[in-house]
């Protein structure tokens, strides 16, 4: 590693990780790279920029802060920096799956490998690994979620297969989908993996947005009103015009939020 770039070996691996993994349930298939040349190009960019990368292991219970040092496109291997604590380095070598997460310029990069070995790099110990089978490069804006106004909540109306009609509050918006706040009564009727067809979303000044929603996550939580469910959904067939309108609305809501908070 060059002398003018501080090594993560001096970093405290017990500090908070620089980057957290992509939440479960997020629809990341469109952002998956499988071509080794594309994977290598992303890894080489991380190396040339010197971006920090967080390596999670032991099922996410431990992590190490590192940097990609060198990428061999032809050999399909990459080298990353040795940590400052020898016990952590040894534990990583002996662990199974290692999950790598970085955030260069707000773009989340995530991939995992199993086989990691020790080798020398410029006379110092380092880790070496084969390329991952695939790599996620997730534009931050795609999953930037903005909470909807509390005073006049937006509504999502849809019909379930049994013919019953439901209207549920929209909790948050993103260009990839929406989060619903459902009562216990409504929440138990919605299943993971289910597609809600032709959902009419009343977005206030943003008009009415109509799209199919696929249920990607479902989480129960408790409030003073009793049990509620947060249901994460992705858009299935959002048109370009609808996406542009949604983007304008989100920009407006963000401006209003900043005006209120200063």
* 239 belongs to a structural domain: yes
DSSP string, 202-213: E-GGG-EEEEEE
Whole-angstrom CA distances from 96 to 56, 68, 81, 109, 127 are 10, 20, 18, 20, 14
Q: Do 241 and 134 fall into the same domain?
A: no
Tokens of 2: 């060059």
Contact partners, residue 111, CB within 8 Å, separation at least 6? 39, 99, 100, 132, 134, 135, 136
Q: Is 181 exposed, middle or buried (0-12, 13-18, 19+ CB in 10 A)?
A: buried
Q: Do 27 and 132 fall into the same domain?
A: yes
85, 115, 142 - which closes a domain:
142
* 3 belongs to a structural domain: no
97, 127, 142 - which closes a domain:
142
- Domain with residue 85: its CATH number is 2.30.110.10
Q: Do 218 and 256 fall into the same domain?
A: yes
Contact partners, residue 150, CB within 8 Å, separation at least 6? none
Q: Which residues pair with 169 in a beta bridge?
A: 155, 181
Q: Do 134 and 14 fall into the same domain?
A: yes
Q: Do 156 and 81 fall into the same domain?
A: no
pTM for the full predicted model: 0.53
Position with higher pLDDT, 261 vs 173 = 173
pLDDT surpasses 80 at 26? no
Spatial separation of the C-alpha atoms in residues 36 and 88, rounded to whole Å: 29
* 57 belongs to a structural domain: yes
Q: Do 31 and 76 fall into the same domain?
A: yes
Spatial separation of the C-alpha atoms in residues 251 and 166, rounded to whole Å: 28
Per-residue model confidence (pLDDT) at position 23? 64
Q: Do 169 and 100 fall into the same domain?
A: no
122, 142, 162 - which closes a domain:
142
Q: Do 100 and 177 fall into the same domain?
A: no
* 2 belongs to a structural domain: no
Q: Do 172 and 192 fall into the same domain?
A: yes
Q: Which residues of 140-152 are buried (b: 16+ CB within 10 A; e: fewer)?
A: eebbeeeebeeee
* 122 belongs to a structural domain: yes
The 10s digit of each residue's pLDDT in 78-132 is 999 999 899 999 999 999 999 999 888 667 899 999 999 999 999 999 999 999 9
At 244 the three-state DSSP class reads helix
Q: Are 64 and 93 in contact (CB under 8 A)?
A: no
Q: Do 152 and 135 fall into the same domain?
A: no
The 10s digit of each residue's pLDDT in 142-170 is 556 677 877 788 999 999 999 999 999 99
Among candidate residues 127, 149, 221, 139, the one with its CA nearest the CA of residue 183: 221
pLDDT surpasses 90 at 140? no
Q: Do 123 and 213 fall into the same domain?
A: no
Q: In what order do the strands lie in the sheet with 135-138?
A: 32-33, 135-138, 108-113, 98-102, 52-57, 62-72, 77-81, 124-130, 117-121
- Domain with residue 178: its CATH number is 2.40.10.220
* 1 belongs to a structural domain: no
* 211 belongs to a structural domain: yes
Compute the mean pLDDT over every residue in the chain, rounded to the nearest whole number.
Answer: 83
Q: Do 150 and 126 fall into the same domain?
A: no
* 77 belongs to a structural domain: yes
Count how many domains the chain has.
2
- Range(s) of the domain holding residue 118: 8-142
């Amino acid at each position: 590693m060059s002398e003018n770039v501080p090594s993560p070996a001096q970093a405290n691996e017990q500090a908070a990780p620089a980057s957290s993994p992509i939440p479960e349930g997020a629809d990341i298939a469109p952002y998956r790279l499988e071509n080794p040349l594309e994977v290598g190009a992303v890894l080489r960019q991380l190396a040339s920029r010197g971006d920090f990368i967080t390596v999670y292991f032991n099922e996410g219970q431990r992590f190490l802060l590192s940097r990609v040092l060198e990428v061999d496109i032809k050999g399909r291997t990459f080298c990353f920096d040795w940590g400052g604590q020898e016990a952590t380095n040894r534990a990583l070598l002996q662990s199974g799956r290692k999950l790598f997460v970085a955030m260069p310029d707000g773009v989340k990069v995530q991939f995992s490998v199993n086989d990691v070995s020790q080798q020398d790099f410029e006379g110092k110990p380092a880790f070496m690994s084969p390329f991952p089978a695939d790599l996620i490069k997730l534009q931050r804006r795609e999953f930037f979620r903005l909470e909807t106004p509390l005073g006049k909540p937006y509504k999502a109306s849809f019909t379930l297969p049994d013919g019953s009609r439901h209207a549920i509050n929209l909790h948050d918006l993103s260009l990839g989908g929406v989060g619903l706040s459902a009562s216990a009564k409504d929440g138990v009727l919605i299943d993971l993996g289910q597609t809600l067809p032709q959902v009419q979303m009343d977005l206030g000044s943003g008009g009415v947005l109509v799209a199919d929603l696929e249920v990607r996550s479902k989480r129960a939580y408790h409030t003073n009103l009793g049990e509620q469910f947060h249901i994460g959904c992705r858009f299935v067939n959002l048109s370009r015009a609808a996406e542009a309108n949604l983007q304008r609305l989100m920009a407006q809501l963000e401006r209003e939020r900043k005006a209120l908070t200063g």
